[in-house]
Amino acid sequence: GESVGLHLPTLSVQEGDNSIINCAYSNSASDYFIWYKQESGKGPQFIIDIRSNMDKRQGQRVTVLLNKTVKHLSLQIAATQPGDSAVYFCAEKGGSYIPTFGRGTSLIVHP
Amino acid sequence: DTEVTQTPKHLVMGMTNKKSLKCEQHMGHRAMYWYKQKAKKPPELMFVYSYEKLSINESVPSRFSPECPNSSLLNLHLHALQPEDSALYLCASSPEGATEAFFGQGTRLTVV
């Protein structure tokens, strides 16, 4: 079936470095994508979203890039901090209002 | 109030017990969801309520029984669970048709 998946299950970076978390999707009808951050023992927290009519969106220290040609999106975190350590999920919505989650990437930030 | 509140935070129950998980939101959202999340896995959708009516049941076993008493509350009744049902149970809400879903902190359920 169609699904949203991630390339790397674990990403380790040094504090201050930039982080890039990737996500591939296969549903060409998906028109909205969300990145969630989930810290240990907590529920997913919204970070940033992007609609399919855009290819880039910036937030505070985060940027999401969308490449519809290859069905790929990425989350870039600038100047990564220890507090950014968490599991990051991409989620997609295509035709319904219900988010479907991808596999998740664990980001580990070393001080 | 921009929170989804879940109680209890932790629950240990035996396989013959009956227990309930509770979820509450006061954001006026008309869509509410139950997700199940196993360790190191993404949340998996269980149920969706839209305007207090069950709109989606993702083939969840009948030992899980959802209930939506009003637009602010969502319950998940548990009976005769198995150890493999141990997981983090997440509640979420959103304005229907909207984009972002707001998640609670979850209930960590252990079935012994």
pLDDT digits 0-9 by tens, B67-112: 999 999 999 999 999 999 999 999 999 986 666 789 999 999 999 9
Tell me how many residue pairs between chain A and chain B have CB atoms under 8 A apart: 52
Whether the CB of A27 is below 8 Å from some CB of chain B: the reply is no
Tell me which residue in A36, A43, A89 faces B104 most closely, judged by beta carbons: A43
Partner-chain contact A49 B100, CB within 8 Å = yes
Tell which of B10, B36, B40, B100 to mutate to test the A interface (max A CBs under 10 Å). Answer: B100
Q: How far apart are CA A40 and CA A50, in angstroms?
A: 25
Whether the CB of B38 is below 8 Å from some CB of chain A: the reply is no
- Cβ(B100)–Cβ(A49) below 8 Å: yes
Q: How far apart are CA A48 and CA A66, in angstroms?
A: 12
Whether A1 has a pLDDT exceeding 50, the answer reads: no
pLDDT digits (tens, 9 = 90+) for A13-24: 999 999 999 999
Residue (of A7, A9, A14) closest to A77 by Cα position: A14
pLDDT digits (tens, 9 = 90+) for A52-110: 999 999 999 999 999 999 999 999 999 999 999 999 999 988 766 678 888 899 999 99
